[in-house]
Chains A and B, each alone.
Chain A
Amino acid sequence: MATPDTQGLSAAYSQDGAAAETSSVQTAASEAPFYSILFESGTPNLDTVPEPGYFGDLNLDQVLEALAAGRDHYSLEPFFYLVLHDAEAVGYRHEVFRDLEREEVREPVERFAQAMTRMREHLAQVDKLRHRLQKQAWLLDAIEIYCRAVESLASELAELDLRARALDRWRRYLRAYAASERFAALVSEARELQNALGSLEYAVHIHGGHVSVERPQGEPDYGVEVEATFAKFQQGGVRSYLVRLNDYPEMDHIAGRILDLVAKLHRDVFGRLANYCDRSRGYLDEVVGRFDREAQFYLSYLELVDRFRAKGLQFTYPEVSDGSKAIDVAETFDLALADKLVPAGQKVVSNDLRLEPPERVFVVTGPNNGGKTTFARTFGQLHHLASLGVPVPGTRARLFLPDQIFTHFEREEDIETLRGKFEDELVRVHEILDQATPNSVIVMNESFNSTTLDDARTVGGGVLQQILDLGAPAVYVTFVDELASLSEATVSMVSQIVPDNPAERTFKVLRMPANGLAYAWAIAEKYGLTYDRLMETIPS
């Protein structure tokens, strides 16, 4: 079954009194035919979108895994691979998110999704079962679940004040669909059949291998008689002897034969069932089905957001720009890392990122394991997330929509191939700089760490200079302090330690001049090796 005819739809719109009262944007939008809650118009072939090259480096694969957990059958991956490049498209999704953040909007959509899941489970069962009548019964239930889901969502959405263009259009579509004659017939016949089947009672007489199937003649319940006779011995609670008999959906051949005979006793009802099932095979509306899948993009992400918010972490709708490269994000964090720390009850450290022209590149230095890599990932993640049109970690965010994102993370060290490796790295960095434009975002993490200080200074300095010349916003993580003050376009960021206990990291990365001495001093103090301490403890 395809989209209901547009004639019927526009007729439904013009009768809609509520539409006249809504804002002009919505009225204008209502004239556009509804297509998708992800894309305002048309959509690329989602299923051919590959995973971006930086996904693994930024640990976005882990984030996606968390998002898609338990949602395998929706194939959500492409939704999270495909980035948007204009602010308008991002706004279309922000609107939906904002609406869905309201319980009264989200709950009906979630219930709809749950019902659709149940429906799919039923259809899977139809495929698995072998008995013709059982297949029909499960299909009937599937259709009934679908109809109820559509009806509920249509009526619940009708009550709501929806601000998102996408949801408003969807609501109009759904209302017209639910009001269509064809849908009404689908519903009423399903219910009649269910009632008819539910009220049937049949009798089976089993004597040895002889089985009769009959209409019951009002014979009394024998169990009740037995219980009545023994009632006087009732002594309080005793265990149940009810045996849990198999409750698989399937039937064995004997139960199947009995069912066939019951169907023979009630030809009329079962005839109608067969006929209905034949006619209703393609009952699922394509647009309804697409909404069900696309809604998961929002629901899965909001579920993640809620989990973090419950632990006091904040999310915000970034102000996105495809022109200005000014970046300003407050109290943001690495989403993948947070997803590991939060369940373990550990604290998530947030950082601020700010690049104001002429600043273009963060140069991050400081002690190892102090949060430098995390800072770099966060920077990359923020740009990808902003480009997906989802709320990003932080209390406030202004971000640039890049044309591309490039990452270069140092690969695992391997002494054997050290020289070969350095060349490989250079080749990769070269490719990045070839492809990058001034509107790309670049993340370079400890790119030349496994080389000598001299090389790191000269080669690293050279690469950094090229990035600066390109003018692309970037993060450059290095142990070479000097690079932090290469030009007025570099911003020096330093990962922090707890002064009293250098072994403990704060994971804070702060804007300050690169100063490797602070760490050295602190660790020396701890072991009593500072100048003053040594002067005190060493006898004169």
Chain B
Amino acid sequence: MADLSVKIAGVEFSNPLIAASGTFGFGREYAEFYPLEKLGGISCKGTTLEKRDGNLPPRVAETPSGMLNAVGLQNPGVDVFIKEDLPWLKQQNTVVIANIAGNTTEEYCAMAEKLSDTDVDMIEMNISCPNVKSGGVQFGTSCESVGAITAAVRKHCKKPLIVKLSPNVADIAEIAKSAEANGADALSMINTLTGMRIDINTRRPIIRNNTGGLSGPAVFPVAVRMVWQASNAVKIPIIGMGGISSWEDAVEMLIAGAQALQIGTVLFSDPYAPIKITEGINEFLDKNNIKSVTELSGTIKPW
């Protein structure tokens, strides 16, 4: 049995597998399959200062090797999360990451402040949601805006701060550097890629929001490339995600430069995927006489 534990920004995870925000709710549903302590951590559903109802349905469409979603940040609001979900989550013996999104810098700061006074282990700042009119990706697509919001939230955030990056940018390395320079403790990447499907009979987009975020195996090579580029550009740890579906994908993402992993879309076809992937990583490490999963990170030998 290899050592699967990883440390991100001072926070210890029992293994590198973290449930990705938006795919796992606040954990209660998947806790009906297995104890959540099997996961290294949970990144909770994106939370806003006030309750949001989200977009009209349909909110999902399958695509070749993936899916589009446009939920639109439906959530009960940060106060309800703190009062009703966090106490339960903290009993599950896994790292709890709050995921925050907002319309304005002030909203992000207010949420970071509120969450800093709670038991939450880390805060993941979502500046990359492609599915809301405001309060998402517009903060995440230029170095200036990423730097500005990271610096602002940093002042109010007493917890380790993860900045979740959008892949819908020209130069991910520059964006990553801007987040690091302005106080991010870690990066998580990638959020979904903006996409679209159209019903050829009705000529209507399948998703009511017209466009949605693409996830699943289709985006995996893009995610590996971006994690590699970002990890070459920054010193802070990277939580890699985007289409990880098997233990082989997980190992590949670690080798590309990730220190921990988030998985999401694969849960919809296999709710047990995090457990299977963790077991697969362990077997790979044992087979290759690697004592700790941390030894894999960034060991890519680029041509």
Pair from one complex: no
- Residues of A participating in the B interface, judged by any CB pair closer than 8 Å: none
B residues apposed to A, CB below 8 Å = none
